[in-house]
Structure 1
Amino acid sequence: MKRQVWLFVGFFLLFALCFPFTLQAAAPYYEGKTLKIIVGHGAGGGYDRMARLMAKYLPRYIPGKPVALVEFVPGASGLIAANQIYNITKPDGLTIVTVDRGLPIAQLLKAEGVRFDAAKFSWIGSAAIEATVLCIRSDLPYKTFEDLLKAKEPLHLGSVGPANTSHQFPILLKEFLGLKINLVIYPASAETMLAIERKEADGRAGSYSSLKPFIERGLVRPVIRGRVIESGIENLPVDEDLTRDPKGKAIMAMRSAGDLMGRPFVAPPGTPPEAMAILREAFAKVAKDAELKQEAAKFRMTVEYVPAEECLKVVNFVLGQPDEIAKEFSKYIKF
């Protein structure tokens, strides 16, 4: 009997040495690791602010509580960052990126420099739905759409590049509503707003959440919005309603689709399902964090969770547009 007991004990110890992780709870995957959050735009804009908020609060909801760091990879309206995470970044769940919501349009139009398939990113979700507005400097005599139509001189509007809302929204207003607009490219949103402060630019289009602080302090006023509604701009005219051209309405609707996933986050294709499940669950939880919402409100930002599946619906809607719409859109949006 004693021999049998010692044989059992010996077998147990041998098993423990060979398979140690089966005898104790595995350490959380993210424990002791760093989660890198890449921003495809320069510092100071809405993508930057949302990434910093996520870096601060997201680790609370990830088992193992990793350290989160923000890294900037600006350029080409977010295309450089998207290409990097799609083609180079290791798909280990330790690097995510907040991509520009206009990227599916860049892919649809076969823009030079696109080296990704937006549908194949590992989608985490979005932290917001964003309304797009056109804002004009408050010292200029343009308070309504009709005022803009009557303008004798072109408006010089700031843009951060063709893949971005700041470029796409006004170019369609120019083409389908007859507004006189010249677009001036700046490296990032912060530089664009500085140009407006210096009266080098007359205004810009962009996310209402990003422009709201400048609206509230009287630097700019909103004049036209896209189809997404937010409190405070309900009564602004909608771009699609201002044109009778069915083609224009269809193209404007396609552009506005990205607003439904205003601040999307993705991981590289091929990221393990286990890591994606952790990130998606954490993302859904952090969007409800009262402290996060309170801090976001200081920046006039609203946090609203959009699941990965809904983001993919937007991507597939854009990429599924018929060739004639894509060709027509490509006449106006030049990458």
Structure 2
Amino acid sequence: MLNNTLRRRTTFGLMAGLLAACLTGPAAAEVNFAGKTIEFIIPFSAGGGSDTWGRFNAQLLGKYLPGNPVVVVVNEPGGGSTKGSNLFAARAKPDGEMILGTSASTQFPYLLGDPRVRYDYKDWKIAMAGPTGGVVYTTPTLGPKSVDDIAMLKGKDLVYASQGATSLDLVPLLGFKAMDLNVQHVFGFKGRGDGRLSFERGEVNIDFQTSSAYIKNVQPLVEAGQAVPLFSLGVLDEAGNVVRDPTFPDLPTYPEAYEKLTGQKPSGPAYDAYMAFYVAGFPAQKMVFLPKDTPDDIIAAYQKAFEDMKADPAYKESADAVLGTYEQVTGNLAQALFEKATALSPELRKQVATMLADDYGVKLGQE
């Protein structure tokens, strides 16, 4: 138990420095969802990390919301998650009966001014936030047997199935670019689950999955000799340094893999861009929102439900195996994570937008 607690603190140590405690707000006994069905909008296709995370939380959330409503996950994929998020922004009422689960693929289009975005994070209230990690892997047909062989990928024609240049896939895109790997990004996939299926069919030869999807869907491929893990993204310690992810302690971090590939410690504008979006996208990679006009007692009811759910023995028994060693939080700490994940300097936004336009033909909204 002590080791798990220490590992969880490391996972979001940088954010934990912002606030010493996580408050869940006032009691909300008057809220009652009896007989209601809560729609949990997941703006991604089934089978990816967000879908796995959403369904794992949904199965017990209704048990701890007042009135024990049924919580149903509704997949609304498309546009790198902008379609489902736009739908939530347009349709959700402040009654607590529709909630949205987001990912960095929802945050990045917003940060970069993607013209498909019709939502504003300022219009939402956060109920829960959670960090996650992820793993980059390749096919053994390219030769590597482990990250020790990552240099074998130099000069190879690599193909990656991407949801889009402003989605969560921006992080591996920037990481590959900083490594100077020759990766063709095929845009338009509706979720990371679709990207994994493309990898399984042999249509692409390098892929990335967030931790929950990697544990569930890729680890069996590794065990069957059909995939080779290269590195994890790592996690941030309390000083803001990238350290090994306790969910994948045997895998090197991206900076370790970079140094193994290039012989140098990572640095330069491309690496700075990678790190900025990694920090924006992973310490608060998953978040649950309600409309901003939702009464405080409903927000408090959701926050209390998430806290009570985490204490459920059934949840605790399987959380690490499904989600990895990442603590989901509420209250003030969730708010701090939310604010960190939805802020980007104008200078960095311009740098990345220019790179996407010049190198990938992706033109975003103007400043």
Please tell me the TM-score bracket, short chain as reference: 0.7 to 0.9
Post-superposition offset of 1:40: 0.5
Matches within 5 A, 1:16-27: none
C-alpha distance in 2, partners of 1:76/1:106? Answer: 10
> Rg: which structure is higher?
1
Task: Extract unaligned runs of 5+ from structure 1.
Answer: 1-25
Task: Extract unaligned runs of 5+ from structure 2.
Answer: 1-28, 236-244, 260-264, 357-361
- Say if 1:148 and 1:179, in contact at 8 Å, map to a contact too: no
> 2:279 aligned with 1:275, yes or no?
no
Q: Quick check: 299-308 or 40-49, which moved more? A: 299-308
- Say if 2:284 and 2:341, in contact at 8 Å, map to a contact too: no
> 2:59 aligned with 1:52, yes or no?
no
Matches within 5 A, 1:83-122: 83-122=86-125
1:195 and 1:102, CA in 2 relative to 1: closer, same or farther beyond 3 A?
closer
Question: What residue number does 1:231 align with?
Answer: 247
Q: 1:304 aligns with which of 308, 327, 335?
A: 327
Equivalent residue letter for 1:259: F
Deviation >6 Å, runs of 4+: none
Equivalent residue letter for 1:134: V
Q: Deviations over 1:172-229 (max 9, x none)?
A: 1232221111112323333322221221110211212311342344232221332412
C-alpha distance in 1, partners of 2:158/2:65? Answer: 47
Post-superposition offset of 1:304: 2.2
C-alpha distance in 2, partners of 1:253/1:67? Answer: 39
Question: What residue number does 2:136 align with?
Answer: 134
Equivalent residue letter for 1:75: G
Equivalent residue letter for 1:237: T
Question: What residue number does 2:351 align with?
Answer: 328
> 2:265 aligned with 1:261, yes or no?
no
SS at match of 2:229: strand
Alpha-carbon RMSD: 2.6
Post-superposition offset of 1:32: 1.8
Matches within 5 A, 1:1-335: 28-126=31-129, 128-142=130-144, 143-144=146-147, 147-148=150-151, 150-165=153-168, 167-185=169-187, 186-213=189-216, 214-218=218-222, 219-228=226-235, 229-233=245-249, 235-239=251-255, 242=259, 244-257=266-279, 258-296=281-319, 299=322, 301-302=324-325, 304-333=327-356, 334=362
C-alpha distance in 2, partners of 1:148/1:314? Answer: 36
- The aligned length equals 308
Q: Quick check: 133-142 or 193-202, which moved more? A: 133-142
Q: Deviations over 1:99-144 (max 9, x none)?
A: 1223332222111111222243110112x42112211123431332
Question: What residue number does 1:20 align with?
Answer: none
SS at match of 1:79: helix
C-alpha distance in 2, partners of 1:49/1:319? Answer: 23
Equivalent residue letter for 1:252: Y
C-alpha distance in 2, partners of 1:36/1:173? Answer: 35
TM-score normalized with structure 2 length:
0.75
C-alpha distance in 2, partners of 1:220/1:235? Answer: 14
C-alpha distance in 1, partners of 2:158/2:148? Answer: 13
1:308 and 1:40, CA in 2 relative to 1: closer, same or farther beyond 3 A?
farther
C-alpha distance in 2, partners of 1:304/1:188? Answer: 24
Equivalent residue letter for 2:175: L
Question: What residue number does 2:21 align with?
Answer: none
1:105 and 1:135, CA in 2 relative to 1: closer, same or farther beyond 3 A?
same
C-alpha distance in 1, partners of 2:327/2:208? Answer: 21
C-alpha distance in 1, partners of 2:323/2:297? Answer: 34
Post-superposition offset of 1:96: 0.4
C-alpha distance in 1, partners of 2:321/2:251? Answer: 24
Greater relative CO (CA pairs within 8 A, separation 6+): 2
Equivalent residue letter for 2:274: M
SS at match of 1:260: coil
C-alpha distance in 1, partners of 2:267/2:322? Answer: 37
Q: Quick check: 227-236 or 115-124, which moved more? A: 227-236
C-alpha distance in 1, partners of 2:249/2:170? Answer: 20
C-alpha distance in 2, partners of 1:211/1:86? Answer: 30
Q: Quick check: 236-245 or 28-37, which moved more? A: 236-245
Equivalent residue letter for 2:330: P
Q: Quick check: 234-243 or 89-98, which moved more? A: 234-243
1:190 and 1:226, CA in 2 relative to 1: closer, same or farther beyond 3 A?
closer
C-alpha distance in 1, partners of 2:151/2:331? Answer: 38
- Say if 1:286 and 1:292, in contact at 8 Å, map to a contact too: yes
